[in-house]
Amino acid sequence: MGRIFAARMTTVAVLALALAGCGGTPEQPQFQQAASPQPMLSAEPSPAEPSPSPSTGPSPQPTKNTTVLERGEGTFTTAAGSSPVVGDAGALRRYQVQVEEGITAFDADGFAAVVEQVLSDEHSWIASKKWRFQRVAPGASANFRIMLSTPGTTDRLCAKAGLQTNGIFSCRYGDNVVINLRRWTNGAEGFTDMDVYRNMVINHEVGHFLGHGHVNCPGRGKLAPVMQQQTKELQGCKPNPYPYPDGVHYVG
């Protein structure tokens, strides 16, 4: 799953991002303009707004020392093409996958391939029979975005929803799932397999978009719920990337 496939990338317009719970008129991220952009949201209702994903505890350090780009261009490239609908039942949620321009270690189409694999897994959110997913092309109507962004841009975007990501955390705000490049590159303490960590962080942040809040470790030696803040601390639990580890029973 960790293999990244380079492909043609298409730069598209990204409309101003909707912010949950923020008053006033916040500064908007600088996205490049393209002809005839389509509205971001479909006519389907969005789930109720969950609590913001990061919490305010102390910031753990990444487990590796791999240097990452601290700040990119602030504009994003959307992965080309689309995917089939995955999931047997439930509300369809369409999404786009984007990578911040300036990031060279990962491209939009390669990142999209990983995201597709995660969300189509039988242990992911489709196991609930409440959700189906489909990645859509640039310009198509989508319910949410999954974005890979540099630490600096992540901080700037998430701060607009009142979230402090401290150059380390990822977040979900409004209809945007923002994955921090530092975490995508380095993982977190307790995770020895980067594929496991990447599965977890996507499922965790998408879980926030679907309406799930944070939970704690249920007991030492048990599987961590996917909505536990495993990036921060395992609390004695075992790393777990999936909401439905056995494909049937939810471990939030």
Instruction: List, for residues 61-96, the tens digit of each pLDDT value.
Output: 444 557 899 999 999 999 999 999 999 999 999 999
Q: How many domains, the chain?
A: 1
The helix or strand, by DSSP H or E, that contains position 159, with its residue range, turns out to be helix 151-159
* Torsions phi, psi for 227 (to 5 deg): -90, 5
154 within some domain: yes
* DSSP state for residue 62 in the 8-state scheme: P
244 within some domain: yes
CATH code of the domain covering residue 241: 3.40.390
pLDDT per residue over 20-57, tens digit each?
333 333 343 443 333 333 333 333 334 444 444 443 33
CB 41 within 8 A of CB 20: no
CB 82 within 8 A of CB 10: no
Tell which residue, 69, 82, 71, has the closest CA to residue 30.
71
21 within some domain: no
Residue ranges making up the domain that contains 172 = 1-9+64-252
pLDDT per residue over 106-130, tens digit each?
999 999 999 999 999 999 999 999 9
- What do you get for the CA distance between the two ends of the chain, in Å? 23
198 within some domain: yes
Give me the pLDDT at residue 36, please.
34
104 within some domain: yes
pTM of the model: 0.76
- Residue 71: how many CA atoms within 13 Å on its side-chain side? 7
59 within some domain: no
Q: Which residues pair with 98 in a beta bridge?
A: 78, 147
pLDDT per residue over 129-173, tens digit each?
999 999 999 999 999 999 999 999 999 999 998 999 999 999 998
- The Cα 120–Cα 146 span in angstroms is 15
22 within some domain: no
